[in-house]
Amino acid sequence: MTEPEMRGKTRQEKLQAQICSAVEYAMSTSQHSQLSIVSGIGRREEPEPSDGRYEPTIGLKAVAKILDCSAEQCRRLAEAKKIPVFRIGYRWKSTASAIVRWREEQLALIRHSRPSEER
């Protein structure tokens, strides 16, 4: 999504657009992306409680895109157990919703930790 398109969107719409682009990126670069089209094949995570469907996992490059940092920085955060990721073999994986939820929690902590005169 281009910068002019992002200006007219609400915060929730911007987050949704980031999640969608990160998931599309992860699925396009995944070696199993074609397998995930067929039901029951491919790597899947725990189901979302709302609709009972599975959310695809994403790699560190997609996590870096959501967090707007480098993949190397994400790897360091993952090894320090500071972001919600897990390992499958030698690869770090997560879900886009878990990363966005974590980012929102971190932003909320920052907002609430500042004194009221700085807000």
Residue 14's pLDDT band (cuts 50, 70, 90): confident
What the chain holds in terms of domains, given with CATH numbers, is 3-118 (1.10.10.10)
Three-state SS sequence of the chain:
CCHHHHHCCCHHHHHHHHHHHHHHHHHHHCCCCCHHHCCCCCCCCCECCCCCCECCCECHHHHHHHHCCCHHHHHHHHHCCCCCCEEECCEEEECHHHHHHHHHHHHHHHHHHCCHHHC
Q: Is pLDDT of 80 > 90?
A: yes
The residue among 84, 80, 79, 106 whose CA lies nearest residue 95 is 84
pLDDT given at position 18: 75
Q: Is pLDDT of 22 > 60?
A: yes
Between 103 and 12, the higher pLDDT residue: 103
Q: Is pLDDT of 47 > 70?
A: no
pLDDT given at position 12: 74
Q: What is the pLDDT of residues 88-109, one digit of tens each?
A: 999 999 999 999 999 999 998 8
